[in-house]
Amino acid sequence: GHKKNPTKTISSKFKSQLAALIQVMGATAPHFVRCIKPNKELKSGIFTNQMVLRQLSYAGILEVCIIRKHGYPIRLNENEFFHRYKLLTSGHALDGPVAGKCWDVNALLRELSLMGLLKDNLWQLGNPDEKSEEQPKVFMKD
């Protein structure tokens, strides 16, 4: 019989490295840092408005800012939201465990709405992907 050569080809190495990269990216929540040059001279203390705006526009950051401004710029997971805003309520509707938690974000949202502190059209409770282990988030407008 004829034995296969045990050495990997360049394309098989690339394919396995790409598969490993996709697996890592799927298991993480990457954040990207954009570097903006403040001026052509690259000197501190000098800020060229048009140059910075052009870079922000080309990178799509201005569009993201506009979308977030018109959308829901405040995004807190339900644990952060609950512990930050529970102090505004009497707390009587918030007692007792719900779904294995010692707090109920839905009760807090209802109570804040009833108190007039949170208008119904200015917030939304969102659930992350089913595959995600993230907590649901509370999205609020300014």
Alpha helices in 1-142, H assignment, sequence order? 10-26, 49-58, 61-70, 78-85, 105-114
Q: Residue 97: what pLDDT?
A: 54
Q: Residue 51: what pLDDT?
A: 92
Q: Residue 131: what pLDDT?
A: 54
Q: Residue 4: what pLDDT?
A: 62
Are 139 and 74 within 8 A, CB to CB? Answer: yes
Task: For the chain of 142 residues, list the mean pLDDT of each consecutive stretch of 10.
Answer: 69 91 82 84 88 88 75 79 82 55 75 84 69 70 72
Q: What's the rounded Cα separation, in Å, for the pair 110 and 112?
A: 6
Residue 82, exposed/middle/buried by CB under 10 A (0-12, 13-18, 19+)?
buried
Q: Residue 17: what pLDDT?
A: 92
